[in-house]
Amino acid sequence: MKTEIVYGLHFMKPLSDTHTSQHYLGSCLKENFHKRLKLHRKGQSYVPYIREYTKKNISFVVFATWDGDRVTERQLKNRKNTPRLCPICRTMRRAK
């Protein structure tokens, strides 16, 4: 049985002054996870948003993974509070 994973990426700075989001939530098969990250890092992602970050040499880290599938990914996205899921953002918020 193939299992899926949902993952969250935190970009180290916003793309621009007008595009301030620093997170991406995605999903893939668990066995493809590391391959998917390599594609994201190389700028060969199918996600235009991630390609733009790569063009500007803005790095990212994986801030969390969850067992789940596209349904789980959609549930997390629908919360519209990804920074609250991100321990990097939570730490920065506490430091202010």
- CA separation for the pair 26, 73 (Å, rounded): 6
Tell me the whole-structure pTM to 2 decimals.
0.88
- CA separation for the pair 42, 88 (Å, rounded): 23
What integer best gives the mean pLDDT of the chain?
90
Domains of the chain, residue spans: 4-95
**For 33-74, how does the pLDDT look when each residue is reduced to its tens digit (9 = 90+)?**
999 999 999 988 888 889 999 999 999 999 999 999 999 999
Q: Which of 90, 93, 86, 91 is closest to 11 using CA atoms? A: 86
3-class DSSP string for 5-37:
EEEEEEECCCCCCCCCCCEEEEEEEHHHHHHHH
Residue 86 has pLDDT above 80, yes or no: yes
In the chain, the percentage of residues whose pLDDT exceeds 70 is 94
